[in-house]
Amino acid sequence: MTSLTGALVRGAAAGAAGTTALNAVTYLDMAVRGRPSSSTPEETVETMADKTHVEIPGPDDTRQNRVQGLGPLMGIVTGVGMGALAAALVRGRTVPLPALSALVGGGAMVGSNLPMSGLGITDPRSWSATSWVSDVVPHVAYGAVTAALLRALVT
């Protein structure tokens, strides 16, 4: 059986690979459909900074550049963290790949959307079918890649 520390490290690596898959699918969708990137990550950074009374330093342009960098970094942290958490949960267990993929992909989707919903930035109940597809498909890719690597590296 893999040690907990080893599982967490391997899970984080699996989550990083899954995050790369999620980003690749998202950017491919943007390129194919010509759609803009989502502003919700930056809005989340701004809202969290306001609510916690944390100042993002710099003059206007520099500050905005920091916000634009912090938004995607939050997504990376979510993806890597979900991989590590999943590894800790499945360590030493055999979970069917489709179930693990759905659990990991769904967990990442909830982990990214729940804070934004809680902060009032977005309301998934109001999303169009196209918006749902734009969110679900990359998370399916995340779940599949992360789960496959978790199975190979951790269980």
- pLDDT tens, 91-146? 988 899 999 999 999 999 999 999 999 999 999 999 999 999 999 999 999 999 99
Domain count, the chain: 1
1 pLDDT more than 60: no
Q: Please, what is the average pLDDT of the chain?
A: 95
Mean pLDDT (whole number) for 14-39: 96
The percentage of residues in the chain with a pLDDT greater than 90, rounded to a whole number, is: 94
154 pLDDT more than 90: no
HSE, CB side, 13 Å, CA atoms: give it for residue 13.
12
Query: Residue 101: which domain range?
Result: 4-153
